[in-house]
Amino acid sequence: SAVISQKPSRDICQRGTSLTIQCQVDSQVTMMFWYRQQPGQSLTLIATANQGSEATYESGFVIDKFPISRPNLTFSTLTVSNMSPEDSSIYLCSVEKGAWSNEQFFGPGTRLTVL
């Protein structure tokens, strides 16, 4: 398995500002993923982050709004830029572990409220 931590665990932000969320893993992983869970909804993949390359974004998500960094094999950040109330969600990072199983493990999430 993998132990994943996220910072901050929650935050309340003003409209128009930006927030950077950190994700730390206890072991080296090739792929890290960022998901969004809007209130009452299931999870939606935002982007896939591989170390040493640009993140790959899913349809509906753009780099200017959600810039991602992946400076090494245990760490990634997601920035939510120019926030609006519609960005209020739980943001989760995950990693894929296991040479054969491709099982994914998730961090505890960051609960973001935008006023």
Partner 1 sequence: KQEVTQIPAALSVPEGENLVLNCSFTDSAIYNLQWFRQDPGKGLTSLLLIQSSQREQTSGRLNASLDKSSGRSTLYIAASQPGDSATYLCAANTGFQKLVFGTGTRLLVSP
Which chain residues interact with partner 1 by CB under 8 A?
1, 4, 31, 33, 42-45, 48, 58, 92, 94, 96, 101-109, 111
**Residue closer to partner 1, measured from CB, 28 or 44:** 44
**Other CB atoms closer than 10 Å to residue 51's CB: what's the count?**
16
CB of 101 to partner 1, least distance (A): 6
CB of 25 to partner 1, least distance (A): 13
Check if the beta carbon of residue 68 is closer than 8 Å to that of residue 48: no
CA-to-CA distance for 35 and 14, rounded, in angstroms?
22
Supply the DSSP symbol for 58. P
**Residue closer to partner 1, measured from CB, 77 or 107:** 107
**Residue closer to partner 1, measured from CB, 6 or 74:** 6
CB of 87 to partner 1, least distance (A): 18
* 14 phi and psi angles, rounded to 5 deg: -90, 150
Check if the beta carbon of residue 23 is closer than 8 Å to that of residue 4: yes
